[in-house]
Amino acid sequence: MSRVSIPAIDQTPAATLPLLEAVNKQLGVVPNLMKVLGNSPSALEGYLSLNGALGKGTIGVKTGERIALAIAEVNGCSYCLSAHTYLGKNVAKLADAEMAANRNGTSSDNKADAAVRFAVSVAQERGHVSDAAVQAVKKAGFSDAEVMEIVLHVALNTLTNYVNEVAQTEIDFPVVKPYK
C-alpha cells in the first residue's frame, strides 16, 4: 500500500485532471506514478515537461530505457524496474539479455554501453564524474548535447525512483525486484 495517497478521481486536484487525461490519451492508462505525482499539479507538470522534452532528444528511446533500467537498479526502485522492464520489452523492443545487462550497468551495443556506463557513473558519483568518464562517452560518439541528455535522463529517473521509494507506490506493472 502506498504511503502517499493515490487519490480517487473526485479527490484529485482540479489542475491535475487535464494532465492525467493527457497521460491517459497518450498511454491508454494512467500509471500509479502519475497519480501519486498528481497530488501536486506542479510536481506532475514538472515531471511531464522534462519527460516530454527528453522524448524529443537524440539519444533515442532504446538508450533512454537502458539508462532508466540502470538507474532504477542503482537506486533499488522496484516500481521503476517494473515499469521500465515493461517499456523496454514492449516499447523499445529490448531483449531480456540486453535489459539484464543494462541493470548491471552495461549494454551489448558498444555505443549504448558507453551511455549506460556513463549514466551509472553520474548516479553513483552524484555528478562528480572524472574527465575520463566524459571523454569515454564522447569518444563513443555522443555529442555535448547528448551528454547533457544522458545526465538529464539520470536526473529524471532518479527523481521517479525517489518519488516511488518515498511514496512506496503500488506497482501496477509485472513486478521486477532489484538484484541487490
What is the model's pLDDT at position 1? 80
Q: Residue 4: what are its φ and ψ, rounded to 5°?
A: -115, 135
Only one residue has cell 505525482, namely 37
Q: Whose CA is closest to 44, among 74, 20, 68, 11?
A: 20
pLDDT in tens, 160-172: 999 999 999 999 9
pTM, rounded to two decimals: 0.96
Domain 61-167 part of CATH 1.20.1290.10: yes
Side-chain half-sphere exposure of 25, counting CA atoms within 13 A: 6
Spell out the domain ranges in the chain. 13-55, 61-167
Mean pLDDT to the nearest integer, 17-29: 95
CA distances from 51 to 56, 109, 128, 139, 174 (A): 9, 24, 24, 26, 22
